[in-house]
Structure 1
Amino acid sequence: MKSLKKYFAEGLGTFALVLFGCGAATIASVSESGPEGIGLLGISLAFGLAVVVMAYTIGPISGCHINPAISIAMLAAGKLSAKDTVGYVISQCIGAVAAAGLLYVIATGSSGFAMPEWGLGSNGWGEGYLGEYNMTSALVTEFVFTFIFLLVIFGTTAKNASPLMAGLAIGISLALIHMVAIPITGTSVNPARSLGPALFAGGMALEQLWLFIVVPIAGGLCAALTRNIFLDD
C-alpha cells in the first residue's frame, strides 16, 4: 500500500504539472485579440508554480519527482530503488497522458478548434516551431538545462539542506529554465511532460518526441554522475 500511495502521488503530481503548465500554453496564452494572453513569463510561472504546490502537496509521500528524468537520475545516484523507479516512471507517464487528454477535451470545446502542429503545448524544434531553432540547439538546450535542473534538485534535497525551501527553489529553477528555453523547444526537461501532449497532437510532435525522452534522461544521468563524483551531500 505504501508503494501504491507513492505511485498514485507521482501520477497525480505529473497530472497537475501538465494540466497547469501545458494548459497555460494551450488555453491561457491565447486571448481574444490573438496569441498574447499570459505570454512566455506566465507560462514559465505556471510550470514553476505547479512544481512548488505539488512539492508541498505530495513531497512528503513520494518526494515529488513528477519527471522520469529525475527518478532515473535518483536511481543512478542510489537514492531510489529499481522497483520504485519503474513504478514512478509508469505513474508519471499515465498522469501526463491523462492531463493531456483532459486538455484536449477542454480545447475541443472552443468553436472552430483544429489541432495545430505541435498542439497542446507539445515540444519541438525546426521550421514552424516558435523560434525555429535547429535540432542541435534543441539537443544542447534540453541536455544542459536538465543537467542544471537535477543539480538544483540534488543540492536542495541533500542531507544538510533545508527541506522547507527545497520545493520553492526547485520550482523557481524550473520557471527560470522555461523563461530561456520556451522559444527553443517549448521546454521539456521532462519526458512525461512531452509524452502526453505529443500523443494527442501527433504529427511532428510525435516524430520529434524521441529527443525529449532521450536527452533529458541523459542530462539527468550526467548530473547524478557529477553529484556522485564531485559534490558531497
Structure 2
Amino acid sequence: MEMARIKQEARAALAEFLACIFFVFFGAGSVVGAVSATNDLGPVEPVNYALSFGFSITILAFSIGDLSGAHINPAVTLSLAVSRNLTLTRAFMYIAAQISGGIVGGGLLFMCVDHDSYHSGIGLADDITPAGGFFLEFMGTLLLIFVVFNVAVWAGKPLENDIAGSTISALAPLPIGLAVAVSHLTLGPLTGCGINPARVIGAVVWEGKDWWDGRSGQAFWIYIAGPFAASLVGPLLYAALYGTVSPGSAGKGKLEAPARAAV
C-alpha cells in the first residue's frame, strides 16, 4: 500500500515536472519569437506572450489536473501548503519538480535559438523601482492565487477524491488561465510578469552576464519574494471571505458554499 502511494506521488511530481518544461518552453518561447520577428531585444507586445502563457497554463491544467492538481507554480503550491490543503512533503516534491522542469524547459529553448537572441522576457522597465516591481509581482501572483482558491479549492471538505489527494474542477483551468493572461497584459511591460518562480528561474538561468549585471539581475529577488509573499496572503483573503481554507474545517461562515475542487 505504501509503495503504491509512493508511486502515485512520484507520478504527480513527474506531471508537474513535465508541465513546467512545456510551460517555460512555450511561454518564454513566445517572447523569443516576438523578439526574433522584430529583430529587437527591447520590449515586445504583451498580447503575444499573455496569450501564450494563459493558453499554456489552461491546456496543461486540463491535461494533468487529475494527476497532480496542476499547480505548475511553486507559489500556488506554497499557498496550498500553508493553508493545509497540501502536505509539506508533497509541497517540497512539487516545488523541486517545478523548478527543475522550468530549468529544463528554458534550457531546451536556449538550445533552439541563437544565444545572442535569447530573451527570458523577465526584466524591470526603466521607470519601475525594485520596490515597485516587488509589489507588481506580489499583486499579479495574488490575483492568480485568489482565483485558484475561489474556483478550484475545496473548503470545508476532506481531500480524498483522487490519487494525489487533490483534483481539478471541470472548468477551473479557464479562469486560472485568464488570470495568468491578465497579469501578463498588465505586468508584462513593467516587470516581464514572473508571478511564477519556476518560470522565472527556468528562463533567467540561461540569460547572459549582461542581464545578471543589469537592473533586472540585481532585482532578481523580487521575482521570488513577490510571488511567495502572495502565497502567504492569498489564503488569508479566502479565509476572510469564507472562514476557512483548510480541508475538514467547518463550513464557510453562515453561507452555504458552492462545491469546490482542490487544486
Work out the CA distance in 1 between the residues paired with 2:39 and 2:81: 47
Corresponding residue to 1:153 among 145, 148, 151: 148
TM-score by structure 2 length?
0.77
How far apart are residue 207 of structure 1 and its match?
Answer: 3.3
Work out the CA distance in 2 between the residues paired with 1:22 and 1:221: 27
Q: Deviations over 1:121-162 (max 9, x none)?
A: 2422153xxxx42222211111111111101000011348x9
1:224 is aligned to 235
Corresponding residue to 2:197 among 177, 184, 191: 191
Q: How does 1:111-190 map to 2 (within 5 A)?
A: 113-114=115-116, 119-127=118-126, 132-159=127-154, 163-190=169-196
Corresponding residue to 1:26 among 32, 35, 50: 32
Q: Closer, same or farther in 2 for the Cα pair 1:175/1:126, shift >3 Å?
A: closer
Work out the CA distance in 2 between the residues paired with 1:181 and 1:33: 22
Give RMSD over aligned pairs: 2.3
How far apart are residue 33 of structure 1 and its match?
Answer: 6.5
Residue 120 of structure 2 aligns with an amino acid whose one-letter code is G
Bigger Cα displacement from structure 2, 204-213 vs 3-12? 204-213
Work out the CA distance in 1 between the residues paired with 2:82 and 2:39: 48
2:37 alignment partner, SS class: coil
Corresponding residue to 2:12 among 6, 12, 22: 6
How far apart are residue 208 of structure 1 and its match?
Answer: 2.5
Q: Which has the higher helix share?
A: 1
Q: Deviations over 1:176-200 (max 9, x none)?
A: 1101110110001111111012211
2:97 is aligned to 91
Work out the CA distance in 2 between the residues paired with 1:149 and 1:34: 30
Work out the CA distance in 1 between the residues paired with 2:188 and 2:38: 22
CA contact (8 A) 2:130 2:219 kept: no
Residue 40 of structure 1 aligns with an amino acid whose one-letter code is P
Q: Give the aligned length.
A: 221
Work out the CA distance in 2 between the residues paired with 1:29 and 1:198: 16
Work out the CA distance in 1 between the residues paired with 2:235 and 2:223: 18
How far apart are residue 206 of structure 1 and its match?
Answer: 4.2
Q: Is 1:215 matched up with 2:210?
A: no
Residue 43 of structure 1 aligns with an amino acid whose one-letter code is Y
2:22 is aligned to 16
CA contact (8 A) 2:41 2:119 kept: no
1:200 alignment partner, SS class: coil
Corresponding residue to 2:111 among 105, 118, 131: 105
1:43 is aligned to 49
